[in-house]
Every structure is written in structure tokens, then in C-alpha cells.
Copies of this chain bind each other. A is one copy, B any other.
């Protein structure tokens, strides 16, 4: 069972990542198995050449894996990204993006996740991301 609902996650984003909320990111699915989000297309995301910017894709993937972490551990606002690797595979056309994230590991102190980005309706991956999150210690633990 997920430990955070889509509505709770979106509320967290509005408070904690106004950037994401402003972009209009939509939750498609948020379970312990996977987190899927949709970034609607807006002309001002584009770089000349008609593609979506790299930082936008990185931010979207980070958000999606963060969602997967919270679905597993519950609302822990202090979970922080410690590292992220992105491979840009193809230039996405000017369309909505879909990101699918899942956890590769959920430890007590670290969570590692993976995200795949697609243009909506096209199964060809446009970017791949792995990222690590530091989880806050439970009461009685010591923080880093």
C-alpha cells in the first residue's frame, strides 16, 4: 500500500517545489510499485530547435523518483537528493512528457531509484535517470 496519496504528494510539491507545481505536473499513478507523472506541453519549455530543456527533464525525473520514495516511506520532507545521473537518449519533440519511476533499493538511510522518460504515446525512451536520496533518521537516530 502506498504511504502517501497523490493528493498529499501534490500538496507537498505546491509547498516544497513550487517550480514543479507551476509547471503543472500531473500524477498519473503513485503506488509502491511505481510512480508515473505527466508534464503537459507548454511552448515556453522549449529550447530553439523545438526540444525540451535538459534541466526540465532532470527536474521531472527527480520529482518522480522522489514520489516513489515517499510512496514507500511516507511523508518525510527531509529526504534529499544526494546524487543523480542522467543519460539523454533522444531529443524529445514538443509534446507532453511521461516519466515512470521505481525504487531499486529502499534502505533505512538511503533509497535509490530509476526513472524513464518518454514523449507521450511513444515507447522510445528519451532519457534515463538514476538518483539516490538520503532518508532522515527515525527518532533516536543521529542525522548526517
- A interface residue numbers (CB < 8 A to B): 15-19, 44, 47-49, 53-56, 58-59, 62, 80-91, 104-105, 107-110, 112, 114, 125, 128, 130, 132, 134, 136-138, 140-144
Max chain B C-beta neighbours (<10 A), residue from A81, A88, A91, A136: A88
Residues B81 and A84 in contact, CB atoms below 8 Å apart? no
Count the copies: 4
Residues A112 and B134 in contact, CB atoms below 8 Å apart? no
Among B44, B53, B89, B108, the residue within 8 A (CB) of A112 is B89
Among B54, B114, B138, the residue within 8 A (CB) of A81 is B54
- Chain B residue with Cβ nearest A140: B142
- The CA-CA distance from A83 to B80 in the complex, in Å, is 16
- The CA-CA distance from A91 to B112 in the complex, in Å, is 15
Residues B132 and A132 in contact, CB atoms below 8 Å apart? yes
Residues B53 and A109 in contact, CB atoms below 8 Å apart? no
Chain B residues whose CB sits within 8 angstroms of the CB of A137 once the complex forms: 141-143
Chain B residues whose CB sits within 8 angstroms of the CB of A84 once the complex forms: 54, 58, 85-86, 88
Residues B144 and A142 in contact, CB atoms below 8 Å apart? no
Max chain B C-beta neighbours (<10 A), residue from A56, A109, A136: A109
Known: A128-B130, A140-B142. 7 other contacts (CB 8 A): A53-B59, A54-B62, A54-B81, A55-B62, A83-B112, A89-B104, A109-B144
